[in-house]
Amino acid sequence: MTSHSAFERILEPSGRADPYPLFAELRKTPVARQEDGTYVVSTYREIVELLHDPRVSSDRRNRLSTDEAPDMTPSFIGLDPPEHDRLRRLAMRHFGPPHSPGMVDGLRPACLHLTTELIDGIAGKRQADLVDEVAYPLPVAMICRLLGVPEEDEPQFHAWADQIIETLGPGEEDRAERERERQAVGLKLEGYLAGLAEDRRRQPGEDMLSGFMTYRGPEGGMTPQEVVSTAVLLLIAGHETTINLIANGMLTLLRHPDQLERLRAESGLIVPAVEELLRYEPPVQLVSSRVALDDISIAGTTIPAGSPIVLALAAGSRDPAHVPDPDRFDPCRARNEHLGFGGGVHYCFGAPLARIEAQIVLAELVRRLRGPRLVADPPPYRPSPVLRGPRHLLIEYDGVD
Ligand code: HEM
């Protein structure tokens, strides 16, 4: 059986609670060929090099063999320049509340308001699940509000987005089946958003969907199909990552009570603390959607043209050749260059929003919860090795200020 390379063990559920020793083992071979021909890259320098290499494509159509189901209309995360750049620019133009000079900065008041409501919601109890009651509803409400998705449709999105995430990830096992499932759910989500986008075209509001449908500039606008694929991307990327940053963040702080106390005393520390969390417990552990367009020589290995490439961001951010004492959680690092948001042309589009959300909600939880402690350590994890985070985070506390 082949199932025992460090990378394969990272994919297995038993590795989920603490994959970092496996990532350390993986880094011993910076560019590791797997049995199925995938190349896994795990050291900081090599990952950064490939993130910036135009011979590394993000376009699934360069990867899938012809007997597999065709993809949904690709969104810009799955396109290469120049198509990628045009769509990303068009989307960026509408990112954030209208008439706001600071773009997403203008979302701070809404984010604080929602956070206050969510924490008030657990104030009458002594035990709460921070995933279901805080970490999940906040980013969902924020991205739905930005896009213009009605709040009452959020539960339906939750189900669709979760189903799509479960079908993602590297590995050949059940790949065709997973592709089919992903496509079926994707079509439902696309159908829903197409209807909503059409409503906005007829009656535009101040949300992103209206902007996407109506904007026409020097390089044109988005086609209705592009609007839908961009909206699906933002919904899913906006749903499924920030939850993990918040949940991993509270878990890490509760495991480091001295740091939690420091943060309570010096609220300004939340900014570097969130950067350290993105390095130390990154919500996106692997980027598994790349393919080599040409033979690429790197770290003494040649990745042959056509090979799938996985970039192990979580391993790179703990590479001792790049970060001193990488396994220590230290919010006060003098320099913190992490791979939490990727890099190069696909650098996370939502990073400013994710930072605002995590900073506000973590700062408020730290400030308001009296005597918080973990009920179970480690907590149960969501299945995905790519978007990794707790499924539940049960805590007990003595009260809420
Ligand atoms: C891309 C991480 C939140 C939208 C990425 C990538 C990473 C990442 C690693 C690069 C993927 C690649 O190279 O293929 C995260 C993390 C988040 C977060 C850790 C939260 C803590 C968000 C939010 C949004 C968002 C809130 C939406 C509002 C996107 C988009 C891309 C992207 C659209 C594709 C960018 C492109 O292809 O040019 N994100 N993300 N992300 N993210 Fe995020």
pLDDT value for 124: 94
pLDDT tier at 162, thresholds 50, 70, 90: confident
Q: Is the peptide bond before 82 cis (omega within 30 degrees of 0)?
A: yes
Taking residues 47-67, what's their average pLDDT?
A: 85
Nearest CA to ligand 1 atom 38: 346
Q: Which of 168, 349, 360, 387 to mutate to test the pocket of ligand 1 (most atoms within 8 A of CB)?
A: 349
C-alpha 241 to ligand 1 mean position (Å): 8
Number of H helices and number of E strands within the chain?
A: 16, 12
Is the pLDDT reported for residue 298 higher than 90? yes
pLDDT value for 301: 97
pLDDT value for 102: 59
Is the Cα torsion angle 271, 387, 256, 376 positive or negative in sign? positive
pLDDT value for 186: 85
C-alpha 89 to ligand 1 mean position (Å): 15
pLDDT value for 185: 87
Percentage of the chain beyond pLDDT 70 is 93
Higher-pLDDT residue of 235, 157:
235
Residues 168/182, Cβ–Cβ less than 8 Å: yes
Nearest CA to ligand 1 atom 15: 341
Q: Using CA atoms, how far apart are residues 124 and 28, in angstroms rounded to an integer?
A: 50
Compute how many other C-beta atoms are within 10 angstroms of the C-beta atom of residue 304: 12
pLDDT tier at 66, thresholds 50, 70, 90: very low
Taking residues 314-323, what's their average pLDDT?
A: 98
C-alpha 348 to ligand 1 mean position (Å): 4
What are the tokens at 321?
């050749």
C-alpha 340 to ligand 1 mean position (Å): 9
Is the pLDDT reported for residue 382 higher than 60? yes
pLDDT value for 1: 44
Nearest CA to ligand 1 atom 40: 348
Nearest CA to ligand 1 atom 13: 346
Q: Using CA atoms, how far apart are residues 4 and 380, in angstroms rounded to an integer?
A: 23
pLDDT value for 101: 53
Nearest CA to ligand 1 atom 10: 342
**What does pLDDT average to over the chain?**
91
C-alpha 346 to ligand 1 mean position (Å): 8
Which range of 149-163, 169-183, 226-240, 271-285 scores highest in mean pLDDT? It is 271-285
C-alpha 67 to ligand 1 mean position (Å): 29
Residues 259/331, Cβ–Cβ less than 8 Å: yes
Compute how many other C-beta atoms are within 10 angstroms of the C-beta atom of residue 328: 12
Q: Tell which residue, 331, 335, 340, has the closest CA to residue 279.
A: 340
- In the β-sheet with 373-374, what is the strand arrangement from edge to edge? 127-129, 394-396, 373-374
Is the pLDDT reported for residue 123 higher than 80? yes
Q: Using CA atoms, how far apart are residues 277 and 90, in angstroms rounded to an integer?
A: 30
Higher-pLDDT residue of 173, 294:
294
Report, in this order, helix, strand and coil percent for the chain, each rounded to 5: 50, 10, 40
CA-51 nearest atom, ligand 1:
13
> What's the CATH fold of domain 6-400?
Cytochrome p450 (1.10.630)
Nearest CA to ligand 1 atom 5: 348
pLDDT value for 97: 64
Residues 398/37, Cβ–Cβ less than 8 Å: no
CA-234 nearest atom, ligand 1:
27
Is the pLDDT reported for residue 282 higher than 90? yes
Q: Which residues contact 163 (CB under 8 A, 6 or more apart)?
A: 181, 182, 185
CB under 6 Å to ligand 1: residues? 58, 76-77, 88, 143, 233-234, 237-238, 241-242, 245, 283-284, 287, 289, 340-342, 346, 348-350, 353-354
Tally of residues, the chain: 401
pLDDT tier at 196, thresholds 50, 70, 90: very high
Q: DSSP E strands: which ranges in 247-379? A: 287-292, 296-298, 301-303, 308-311, 369-370, 373-374
Q: Using CA atoms, how far apart are residues 292 and 40, in angstroms rounded to an integer?
A: 12
C-alpha 163 to ligand 1 mean position (Å): 19
Can you name the residues that pair with 395 across neighbouring β-strands?
Answer: 128, 374
pLDDT value for 105: 79
Nearest CA to ligand 1 atom 35: 346
Phi first, then psi: give them for residue 33, nearest 5 degrees.
-80, 130
